[in-house]
């Protein structure tokens, strides 16, 4: 989406690697995945890419047999089609949370355990109750550790929309990279941005201790922020991070692709 602001060098990389939205709209796929991005405004309607994203979602609901949306894209969909607004949280929801499978007979969760680990990373949430009232089917809801609902579905005619409030597609180090980004904003932002909380359910005790010691150095305020930022222990922590969600995420996507194949066959 060209409406997303990017530095010139990043924009050039995007132009060289990716095809444009217009080409996609002219050749509907059998299945579509729309991932999220970090919001810059309190209202999605104020994001510069909102008109293009809304157009894409409306087109998908009419032309694509099966669509999967992650995080901000899922929030955008319920705002566009149902008028459901996001609700800001008291703190950022970041970590790996075990979602509770609500209906083990749903084909989306075939061969998955009753508790499914899903990465979450967001400030805003859509209340599960609002989804249910609007006619969505919550397939993976919030588990004992919180984190909010993880997977919900709805049909537009015979077009399947699967919404994930989390990020089953995240790589092993995605949450660590986002945490590092948030730490950088605190250190170089002159105190304008609060220091981030550690991602929950993601780090072992050793890694958490390393990052907590770094946070104590930042709170002390005795070091130059730029030099301190350069000393962030990313590599030291990265080698300790395990991935608990890749295998169940692969099963989830395989289940979704099976549904997409069936839907595509119906549409010829």
Report, as residue numbers or ranges, the catalytic residues.
71, 167, 169
Output phi, psi for 163, to 5 deg. Answer: -110, 130
Neighbours of 87 (CB within 10 A): 11
User: How far is it, in rounded angstroms, from Cα 165 to Cα 46?
Assistant: 20
Distance CA 43, CA 75 (A): 11
Helix, strand or coil, per DSSP, at residue 167: coil
The CA-based dihedral angle spanning residues 6, 7, 11, 14, taken in that order and rounded to the nearest 10 degrees: -70
Neighbour tally for 81: CB within 10 Å: 16
Nearest to 141 by CA among 129, 132, 149, 153: 149
- Rounded distance, CA 193 to CA 177, Å? 17
Torsion of the alpha carbons at 237, 242, 245 and 250, rounded to the nearest 10 = 110
What are the CA-CA distances from residue 211 to residues 17, 215, 244, 262 (Å)? 35, 6, 20, 47
DSSP one-letter code for 35: -
The rounded distance, in Å, linking the Cα atoms of 250 and 125 is 24
66 alpha-carbon distance from chain centroid: 18
């Amino acid at each position: 989406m060209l409406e997303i602001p990017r530095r010139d060098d990043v924009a050039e990389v995007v132009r060289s690697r990716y095809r444009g939205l217009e080409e996609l709209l002219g050749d509907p796929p059998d299945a579509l995945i729309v991932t999220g991005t970090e919001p810059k405004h309190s209202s999605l309607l104020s994001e510069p890419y909102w008109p293009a994203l809304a157009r894409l979602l409306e087109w998908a609901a009419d032309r694509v047999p099966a669509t999967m949306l992650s995080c901000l894209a899922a929030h955008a969909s319920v705002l566009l089609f149902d008028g459901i607004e996001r609700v800001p949280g008291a703190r950022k929801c970041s970590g790996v949370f075990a979602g509770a499978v609500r209906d083990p007979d749903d084909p989306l969760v075939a061969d998955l355990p009753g508790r499914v680990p899903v990465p979450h990373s967001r400030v805003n949430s859509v209340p599960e109750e609002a989804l249910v009232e609007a006619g969505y089917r919550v397939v993976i809801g919030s588990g004992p550790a919180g984190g909010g609902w993880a997977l919900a579905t709805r049909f537009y005619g015979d077009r399947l929309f699967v919404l994930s409030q989390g990020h089953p597609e995240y790589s092993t180090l995605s949450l660590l990279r986002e945490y590092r980004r948030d730490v950088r904003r605190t250190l170089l932002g002159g105190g304008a941005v609060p220091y981030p909380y550690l991602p929950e359910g993601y780090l072992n005790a050793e890694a958490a201790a390393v990052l907590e010691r770094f946070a104590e150095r930042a709170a002390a305020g005795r070091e130059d922020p730029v030099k301190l930022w350069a000393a962030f222990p990313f590599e030291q922590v990265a080698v300790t991070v395990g991935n608990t969600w890749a295998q169940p995420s692969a099963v989830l996507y395989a289940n979704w692709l099976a549904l997409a194949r069936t839907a595509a066959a119906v549409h010829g």
